[in-house]
Amino acid sequence: MTKTEVLELIRNGENSGVEFKRDTLSPFQLAKELVALANLYGGRVLLGVESDGTVCGLTRADSPTPDAPEGPQQYAKLEEWVMSTARDKIRPELIPYFEVIREVETGKDVAVIQIDSGWTVHHRWHENHRTYCIRVGTQSREASPEELERLFQARGNFRLELRPVSGAVLDDLDLRRLVDYFRRIRDQDIPPEDARTAWQQLLESTEFMAGEGTNAATGAGVLLFGRDPGRFLPQSGIDAAAYEGREKDYAAKERTTIRGPMTPLWNRAGNELVETGIVEKAIEFVRRNTRVEATLQDGARRVEKWTYPAEAVREAIVNALVHRDYLLSASDIELSLYDDRLEIISPGRLPNGITPNRMKTGCRAARNQLLKDVMRDYGYLEHMGMGVPRKIVKGMLEHNGTEPDLIEEDENFLVRLWNKRAHS
């Protein structure tokens, strides 16, 4: 890092990835900052800078002697102290990048400690006690139990979909949908419908029930096959609204909360839909609140063209259901229709290193792998993870020449499809 780059960091001030500290802080304090940064996206601690951006310089320099003038080894003990802290006070240990930038201001040096985002969740280890720290804006603080659960989930160490759902038992799952899934979709032998013990064992082995004596359905079991998922997981629905104009308005054309299991129910032959799932309900909401244009082709054949292509809408809805953060219990998925656009907001940041750009190229990582696998079994998702680039991006370009927006903002992920007729 150059002196100019350090001065730019200082000029911009502290943020979620930059912390200023005197080098007189304790190992306990330094460990807290490094852990918090590693548990977010990584970042830098600048030693020798006050919290207000004043450069105070380093004080932990090794005292030069006539035989050992100032030079590369002047801050060897400071570097050793930083590395020892990262290894002895942090679990799993971290290995930061350390460098000293000379003369940031006249006679004042600054040390830069750079830490990458951790591949796992790190904690500070002090007096045989562990403390999980997170970065919230410019502050490093101890994580709450809810924040810690989400942190583990984001690192792939925790999956809500496999946790038992309190109060949800075998009778709370729709046996008709389970029979359809195992017999028609998976093409496997199933127990008689009244063989409760055999069904319990089958569902435990496929992770739709938790087992281990709990007799409880898992989050995936409830979301996919529950008779009433909202009873146990209130955050499992879709809040849908259609507006006349381009902004939210209390006087919506239609406003409803869409509930139900993710999976549909088909007849045994698989050629007739008996009951829709939440995906079909959401698509139908979009259809009845958007226009359809009819044109004649070849002089006689009537061809209907919907405002948004069905495959792009379905892909966006399914992705929101499969990848949302179900630990955010106070938020449903939002489906909003405006005069010029359709928006789907999924609660939670993108998981496991996914970015909007990676999604556009076919990234296949998932927060809720079992949900993804089952919805793929039903044909809702592509096996190669190419649904977003093929069905949403390419689909919209071919349909009306517009490119959809994929945006991560705050604690949400937004997919926006444009209506070319109204978009300007």
- In the three-class reduction of DSSP (H, G, I as helix; E, B as strand; rest coil), residue 139 is classed as strand
Same domain, 241 and 120: no
Same domain, 23 and 105: yes
Same domain, 217 and 237: no
State which of 205, 230, 255 marks the end of a domain: 230
In the predicted model, is pLDDT for residue 143 greater than 80? yes
Same domain, 193 and 121: no
How many angstroms separate the first and last alpha carbons of the chain? 44
Q: Residue 66: pLDDT band by 50, 70, 90 thresholds? A: very low
Same domain, 409 and 260: yes
Q: What's residue 250's pLDDT?
A: 86
Same domain, 138 and 287: no
In a domain, 156, yes or no: no
In the predicted model, is pLDDT for residue 69 greater than 60? no
Q: Give the residue-averaged pLDDT of 112-134.
A: 89
Q: Residue 283: pLDDT band by 50, 70, 90 thresholds? A: very high
Same domain, 105 and 20: yes
Q: Identify the domain containing residue 178 by its residue range.
A: 161-230
Residue whose C-alpha is closest to residue 420's, from 395, 398, 401, 405: 401
Q: What's residue 293's pLDDT?
A: 74
pLDDT in tens, 383-392: 666 889 999 9
In a domain, 82, yes or no: yes
Which CATH number does the domain housing residue 96 bear? 3.30.950.30
In a domain, 87, yes or no: yes
Number of domains in the chain: 3
In a domain, 260, yes or no: yes
State which of 190, 212, 230 marks the end of a domain: 230
Q: Residue 204: pLDDT band by 50, 70, 90 thresholds? A: very high
In the predicted model, is pLDDT for residue 90 greater than 80? yes
In the predicted model, is pLDDT for residue 235 greater than 50? yes
In a domain, 154, yes or no: no
Count the helix, strand and coil residues of the chain and give each as a percent rounded to the nearest 5: 35, 25, 40
In the predicted model, is pLDDT for residue 72 greater than 90? no
Q: Residue 409: pLDDT band by 50, 70, 90 thresholds? A: confident
Q: Residue 423: pLDDT band by 50, 70, 90 thresholds? A: low
Whole-Å CA distances, 295 to 215, 257, 374: 56, 34, 38
Maximum CA pair distance of the chain? 98
The structure tokens 């008689």 sit at 192
User: What DSSP string describes 314-352?
Assistant: HHHHHHHHHHS-TT-TT--EEEEE-SSEEEEEEESPPST
Same domain, 116 and 247: no
Q: Give the residue-averaged pLDDT of 306-323.
A: 94
Q: Give the residue-averaged pLDDT of 247-273.
A: 93
Same domain, 22 and 79: yes
Q: Give the residue-averaged pLDDT of 82-97.
A: 92
Same domain, 135 and 225: no
Phi, psi of 143 (to 5 degrees): -75, 140
In a domain, 152, yes or no: no
In the predicted model, is pLDDT for residue 211 greater than 80? no
Say how many C-beta atoms besides its own lie within 10 A of residue 18's C-beta. 18
Strand partners, 99: 112
In the predicted model, is pLDDT for residue 34 greater than 90? yes
Q: Residue 342: pLDDT band by 50, 70, 90 thresholds? A: very high
For a pLDDT cut of 90, what percent of the chain falls above it? 68
Q: Give the residue-averaged pLDDT of 254-278.
A: 94
Instruction: Supply the mean pLDDT for the chain.
Output: 89
In the predicted model, is pLDDT for residue 70 greater than 70? no
Q: Give the residue-averaged pLDDT of 52-61.
A: 92
Distance (Å, whole) CA 424 – CA 413: 23
Q: Residue 300: pLDDT band by 50, 70, 90 thresholds? A: low
Q: What's residue 394's pLDDT?
A: 94
Q: What's residue 148's pLDDT?
A: 85
Say how many C-beta atoms besides its own lie within 10 A of residue 247's C-beta. 8
In a domain, 289, yes or no: yes
Same domain, 172 and 113: no
Q: What's residue 74's pLDDT?
A: 84
Q: What's residue 294's pLDDT?
A: 66
367 or 246, which is more confident = 246
Strand partners, 335: 240, 344
In a domain, 297, yes or no: yes
Residue 215's region, left for phi above 0, alpha for psi from -120 to 50, else beta, is left
State which of 116, 143, 170 marks the end of a domain: 143
In the predicted model, is pLDDT for residue 344 greater than 70? yes
pLDDT in tens, 346-387: 998 887 667 888 888 877 667 888 999 999 999 998 766 688
The structure tokens 């656009």 sit at 341
Q: Looking at residue 171, what DSSP letter applies? A: G
Distance (Å, whole) CA 183 – CA 190: 7
Q: Residue 65: pLDDT band by 50, 70, 90 thresholds? A: very low
Which CATH number does the domain housing residue 302 bear? 3.30.565.60
Same domain, 288 and 204: no
